[in-house]
Amino acid sequence: MSTKPKLYYFDGRGKMESIRWLLAAAGVEFEEEFLETREQYEKLLQGGSLLFQQVPMVEMDGMKMVQTRAILSYIAAKYNLYGKNLKERALIDMYVGGTDDLMGFILMFPFLSAEDKEKQRALIIQKATSRYFPVYEQVLKDHGQDFLVGNNFSWADVHLLEAILMVEEKKSDVLSGFPQLQAFKARISSIPAIKKFLEPGSQRKPVPDDKYVETVRRVLRMYYDVKAN
């Protein structure tokens, strides 16, 4: 009997959150070890667990995997969320890559000053509504299917829903001009595994707060200020 995957990260979203989402979408239970002290982090470093001296790290199937994209690709392939052929996999990679670019503007948000947060909020909304959401809106409209790729639930759908909800936290009506994405959000959110992950008490993490930011800064010794784009 295989053991559950074990996730090593902070008690917050960051780059690990997409891994939590994908495992949950696959119906895979997982355990977490939260980094709260510099000593915990240094123990992982000294033990050789962090190949490139950074987290996230996932212990799974006898491996200690690092690099977020590699971890996500492995999970997607293992649980049949990575398309049926190379063409579908390429499309999934493109859509996930675009969504990653959008998420990048959001991941840095908690570490900004109050002034820079307002600028970044406007930038997030502008990028979402003018560059990223129109692409997915058109894809769904053109093929008329329920999912982004091959009319099958995939990593691309999970990643896009995560991004949509993150942007809605910055502007609740951000999908008002995107009817296809509104319907997509409703469909994907109703999938039993996703619905369970969205319910209170799941391992989904809340919006990062000051405690999360302080913990990350302390453990990683981030003593500089992050600047908005």
Query: Tokens standing for 186?
Result: 């409703």
**pLDDT band at residue 3, thresholds of 50, 70 and 90?**
confident
Query: Are 111 and 213 in contact, with CB atoms under 8 Å apart?
Result: yes
Closest CA to 19 of 54, 58, 59: 58
pLDDT tens per residue, range 133-163: 999 999 999 999 999 999 999 999 999 999 9
Which residue do the tokens 């053991």 mark? 3
Query: Are 99 and 160 in contact, with CB atoms under 8 Å apart?
Result: yes
Closest CA to 55 of 227, 205, 220, 221: 220
Task: Indicate the SS3 state at residue 87.
Answer: helix
Query: Are 194 and 53 in contact, with CB atoms under 8 Å apart?
Result: no
pLDDT tens per residue, range 13-44: 999 999 999 999 999 999 999 999 999 999 99
The pLDDT, as a whole number, for residue 229 is: 44
**pLDDT band at residue 223, thresholds of 50, 70 and 90?**
low
Domains parsed from the chain with CATH numbers: 6-79+198-220 (3.40.30.10), 86-190 (1.20.1050.10)
